[in-house]
Chains A and B, each alone.
Chain A
Amino acid sequence: MSVRSEVLSQLKQVAQEQNKKLAPLSDDLPLSDSGLDSLCFAIIVARLEDALGVDPFTATEQTDFPVTLADFVRFYEDAAK
């Protein structure tokens, strides 16, 4: 599974578990408008760490936190390289 499809599938899975209404997933969707809160993202990041073996949020060389969905996917693609 590509990094992108893994990320998208976790977003949908956690939104469903947490009873959150997920906004339509487009590249320019700001994460803050996705319908997910920080607890949802914490769970997503934990599951992506299991699935992809990386947690880019703990890497100090990354200076910009992702703001849009495209940023978020790139964050993981860069870290998984």
Chain B
Amino acid sequence: MPQSNRGSLWGSSSAAGHLPERALWGADGSVALGDLARGSSLGGRLEELSGRCVLVATADQLTAALALIELDGVARRLVLFPPDLPREHVAFVTASAAVDAVVSDRTAPDAGTPSAGPFVTCSPKIAPAAFERSERYQTEWILLTSGTTGLPKLVVHTLSSLAGAIQDAGAAPKRALWSTFYDIRRYGGLQILLRALLGGGSLVLSSARESTGDFLARAAARGVTHVLGTPTHWRNALMNPSARRLAPQYVRLSGEIADQAILDHLRAFYPGAAIVHAFASTEAGVGFEVGDGLAGFPASLVGQESSGVEMKVEEGSLRIRSARTAARYLGSHAEALPDADGFVDTGDIVELRGERYYFVGRRDGVINVGGQKVHPEEVEAVINSHPQVRASQVRAKKSAITGALVVADVVLNKEPGAANARGEGLEHAILEHCRAALPRHKVPAAINFVPSLAVAATGKIVRRNA
């Protein structure tokens, strides 16, 4: 029997109680948490993973959750590999995180699997097993987030930094049934997995293979009480007939700016629910949550310590110091994460209007399209590789559906007059060129042909914050 240890994810989850009544539900199956007290999803191979740096690369969220529950405290490092990350990044991630074991929901490695140490299959069929799931390591949790070069950044957390906001959130009643549109390999989704496990609740997982309507219907049929999504997830959900079947007590938004319109829509749609928007990022952790139904956040949160979090605004951007921030980046080209005073710069530009701060955009110009980051430079590089383009500037256009969209200003090799004559055909050709090289959300929604771009004294394109 596994020992009871409150420090690890398994120990804390079981200490939260009611194990026999709790479960994780995926799109194709479910696991009762009580079964994990007597068995394992890892086919009796837990011991082989002890002390290793384990790449958790499953297609399915349920098996990923099981691997995390079983391996926290046992593995030295857990690397959460989201299934939407390009396969060509596997080698970079494997090398940067010194991966020496792989957990997959396949039964055998495929061509894209790193050949690093044991390959262990994780299955939702829990097999009885004799083992000791004791806490041996303070496991590092590595989350991947997109970087400027196109390669992911590897962000180092521990269970205690990830769960820092959860102990304070004692408001959630035991037996809460959580759900999220997010994948649990992303920071926002992982928060909900941890809230369900550490808070004594259960969780309905989403699935990339399922439509929004099917997911909402499945979550509603289970009777979910607490639901998290980005503002984009929620706008999309509210346009779906199945959203009416949900009767949440608690609706949470994070990952993008929550504007007043979406907060008002949700309040009208779910009058019985508390509507809370949170500021959180993979690097800075959970900063704060706002429950007054208004966009932005009270200025009083800045400059004082509250529940272990200090915030300040410097050079226009929000900076956070708390035990919930990530420790560092991994990898040979990694920059420092917290500054000398322990503050993490979120890169989010805020503006004080009256007694409240409002988010106005990103300093680094990153465009957030429905929760997916787009670096303007990578799109510009593709546009600029078109033979008839001299220069381009990619910027955000505000969208009420996805938060932002990508649009491009393009300067052509030839005179603008010539461009007018072939404008439509050329716009189409440049967009086709982008579609061949970029994921959909990075392809500009519109191209404007302009005679020139504004260039600063530094020789760089002048970038305005959206």
Contacts and interface: CB of A to CB of B under 8 A. Distances in A.
A42 B401 contact: yes
Interface stretch (B107-115, B259-267, B377-385): B259-267
Contact of B261 (A31, A45, A46, A60): A60
Nearest to B398: A58
Contact of B445 (A32, A33, A42, A58): A42
A18 B239 contact: no
Contacts of A66: 239
B265 A38 contact: no
A63 interface: yes
A46 B399 CA distance: 7
Contact of B401 (A33, A38, A60): A38
B370 A46 contact: no
Residue of A38, A43, A47 with most partner-chain B CB within 10 A: A38
B261 A32 contact: no
A46 B405 contact: yes
A73 B239 CA distance: 13
Nearest to B446: A46
Contacts of B240: 30-32, 67
A4 to B, nearest CB: 18
B236 interface: yes
A57 B402 contact: no
A1 interface: no
Contact of B402 (A17, A33, A38, A55): A38
B238 interface: yes
Contact of B370 (A42, A55, A58): A42
- B contacts with A: majority SS: helix
Contacts of B175: none
Contact of B235 (A17, A38, A55, A67): A38
Nearest to A19: B435
Contacts of B261: 57-60
Interface in A30-81: 30-33, 37-39, 41-43, 45-47, 55, 57-60, 63-67
A10 to B, nearest CB: 12
B441 interface: yes
Nearest to B236: A38
A39 B268 contact: no
Contacts of B238: 65
A36 to B, nearest CB: 10
A1 B235 CA distance: 28
- Interface residues on chain B, size class: 20 to 34
B402 A39 contact: yes
Given A30-B241, A46-B446, A57-B400, A63 B212 contact: no
Contact of A32 (B239, B369, B401): B239
B213 A32 contact: yes
B400 A32 contact: no
B397 interface: yes
Given A32-B240, A57-B235, A65 B369 contact: no
B325 interface: no
Contacts of A17: 431
B94 to A, nearest CB: 31
B405 A65 contact: no
Nearest to A37: B236
Nearest to B432: A17
A41 B402 CA distance: 9
A43 B236 contact: no
Contacts of B441: 39
A64 B264 CA distance: 10
Interface string B260-294: 11001100110000000000000000000000000
Given A57-B401, A60-B261, A32 B211 contact: yes
Given A39-B370, A43-B445, A46-B445, A65 B402 contact: no
Contacts of A60: 260-261, 264
B209 to A, nearest CB: 14
Task: Tell me which of A17, A39, A58, A60 has the highest count of chain B C-beta atoms within 10 A of its own C-beta.
Answer: A39
A47 B401 CA distance: 13
Given A38-B235, A43-B445, A63 B401 contact: no
9 contacts: A37-B236, A39-B440, A39-B441, A45-B399, A47-B445, A57-B235, A58-B400, A63-B264, A66-B239
The 8 closest A-B pairs by CB, nearest first: A57-B400, A42-B401, A42-B402, A63-B268, A65-B238, A38-B236, A32-B240, A42-B399
Given A64-B269, A65-B238, A67-B239, 10 more contacts: A18-B440, A37-B236, A38-B370, A39-B370, A42-B370, A42-B401, A42-B405, A45-B400, A47-B445, A67-B241
